[in-house]
Amino acid sequence: MQWAVGRRWAWAALLLAVAAVLTQVVWLWLGTQSFVFQREEIAQLARQYAGRYWAEISDTIISGTFHQWREGTTKSEVFYPGETVVHGPGEATAVEWGPNTWMVEYGRGVIPSTLAFALADTVFSTQDFLTLFYTLRSYARGLRLELTTYLFGQDP
């Protein structure tokens, strides 16, 4: 498995696909606010939209903090290490990771529906096709492992 650098708008993160199938995925994230922005008012761009998927996504915080603003509210919920943030299917939230936030993300549902949003900035903004390749390769390896285990009952 290989770590890949991911970017969603003003977020920068390291991610590793631990396990993946068409209906489930486990990612390990090291999240940080953007290292590009220096001024406090610009750094507020690190508060981002979490997406609206056909999947339930849960993030278990290992270290750092995770702020979440649910749709229709102006008050944030703060999550700390050991707590789990759940994003239900079809829900949208605004989120912010504190510095040095590590989390394990588990997704269950139509996982390919999450990839377009997760990779949009990589394709259209940074045009970092090597990171796109690493991310998709990591996910494809997880899919292959799950498929061969399902079909043949063993690792490839």
Does a structural domain hold residue 13? no
d(CA 122, CA 35): 16
Residue at 125 is within a domain:
yes
> 155 vs 54, 139, 146, CA distance in Å?
29, 16, 8
Tokens at 37, concatenated: 């922005």
Quick check: 109 and 56 in contact, CB under 8 A? yes
Q: Is residue 29 part of a domain?
A: no
Q: Is residue 130 part of a domain?
A: yes
Return the ∠ at Cα 72 (arms to 9 and 120), rounded to 5°.
20
Full residue range of the structural domain in which residue 75 is found: 48-153
Mean pLDDT, consecutive 10-residue stretches, the chain (156 aa), reads 49 53 65 42 47 84 88 89 92 82 84 77 80 80 80 70
Which of 19, 92, 101 shows the shortest CA–CA distance to 59?
Answer: 101
Number of compact structural domains in the chain: 1
**Dist CA 79 CA 68 (whole Å):** 8
Report the pLDDT value the prediction gives residue 145, as an integer from 0 to 100: 80
**Domain at 94, CATH number:** 2.60.120
Type of residue numbered 85: V
Answer yes or no: is 76 within a domain: yes
Instruction: Indicate the pTM of the whole model.
Output: 0.66
Residue 7 lies in a domain: no
pLDDT recorded at residue 38: 38
Task: Label residues 39-49 b or e (16+ Cβ within 10 Å = b).
Answer: eeeeeeebbbe
**Contact indicator for 95, 70 with CB cutoff of 8 Å:** no
Q: Is residue 22 part of a domain?
A: no
